[in-house]
Amino acid sequence: MAAVTLTIGVDVGGTKVAGGVVDDTGRVLVQARRDTPAEDVGKTRDVIIELVTELATGHEIQAVGIGAAGWIDASRSTVLFAPNLAWRDEPLRAYVSAAVGLPVIVENDGNVAAWAEFRYGAARHADDSMVMFTIGTGVGGGIVLGGELVRGANGIAAELGHMLTVPDGHQCGCGRLGCIEQYASGSALVRFARAAARQEPHRATTLLALADGEAEAITGPMVTAAAKDGDPVSGEAFAQVGRWLGTSLADMAQILDPQVLVVGGGVIDAGDLLMGPTRRSFTEALAQRCRLPVGEIRPAELGNSAGVIGAADLAQRL
């Protein structure tokens, strides 16, 4: 029997650092997590090293993969900028590798989640290509072509959330106006629902009841719960997000012709409330193209484990 190769995957976000020991079939054997001291570069680094050291105890680990919410350089070693962490030109690979005595790879969190879905999740039967949109507070994603992640010349390709969708549209945190992140994210869902609840409170009675009558207190989980209960405003908020998401997926189908298009992130917990209008919008946007073969839209399968699994699997390739 061939020996099993074990690696550690670490998923570093603005609030938590999650890690796991993963085998070469994508199975997570052991998990651990810590809070992220996001404002302190040294402490964040120390937490990662502590987590890796803990997970490595009792296992023969070959390498470590780290998925970080930020822009990573082309050599997969330095975090150039992380909007929710204090990292600026942080040589993370060198620090962690020296501390734990193992090879380390650093990659963008959207890319590691996409890689996990390509290898072991919703696109595991694809052998060539996939595009993944991750719908959370913002919009992230990743692209696989020819069986490899598309990273670009500088390592920061596939910033799918910042494609222009509405010229002169809503202000985005990146500085542009009208990015898809402002129309197909969890934040957009809440913005749509709050605006409609203020304008038509009689059509948002279930939603407003959850928010104690205050439109500004509406949250994403409230919109999901109310929509599932038949609240008109909440259902329409999901329809708006799905419409914009579907057109962006259609753009990706036209440009890249991937085998599979995956939608991940917390918002997909809403199920068909989101995926239904997304698929309809996608089909309408490709009215002529859909006479030809076109990639299927699938919900992500790996959930919160995708970051750990994807980072560990990239480490397997070192």
Measured distance CA(264)–CA(140) in Å, rounded: 9
Q: Label residue 1 by pLDDT band (50, 70, 90).
A: low
Between residues 305 and 86, the one the model is more confident about: 305
Mean pLDDT of the residues in the chain: 94
Q: What is the pLDDT of residue 2?
A: 61
pLDDT tens-digit map of 75-106: 999 999 887 788 899 999 999 999 999 999 99
Q: What is the pLDDT of residue 268?
A: 87
What are the backbone dihedrals phi and psi of residue 218, each rounded to the nearest 5 degrees, phi first?
-65, 135
Q: What is the pLDDT of residue 143?
A: 98
153 CB neighbour count, 10 Å cutoff: 7
Between residues 274 and 37, the one the model is more confident about: 274
pLDDT tens-digit map of 179-228: 999 999 999 999 999 999 999 999 999 999 999 999 999 999 999 999 99
Inform me whether the pLDDT recorded for 290 exceeds 70. Answer: no
Q: Label residue 171 by pLDDT band (50, 70, 90).
A: very high
Q: Label residue 121 by pLDDT band (50, 70, 90).
A: very high
Q: Label residue 14 by pLDDT band (50, 70, 90).
A: confident
pLDDT tens-digit map of 25-53: 999 999 999 998 878 888 999 999 999 99
pLDDT tens-digit map of 236-250: 999 999 999 999 999
Entry pTM: 0.93
Inform me whether the pLDDT recorded for 318 exceeds 90. Answer: no
129 CB neighbour count, 10 Å cutoff: 21
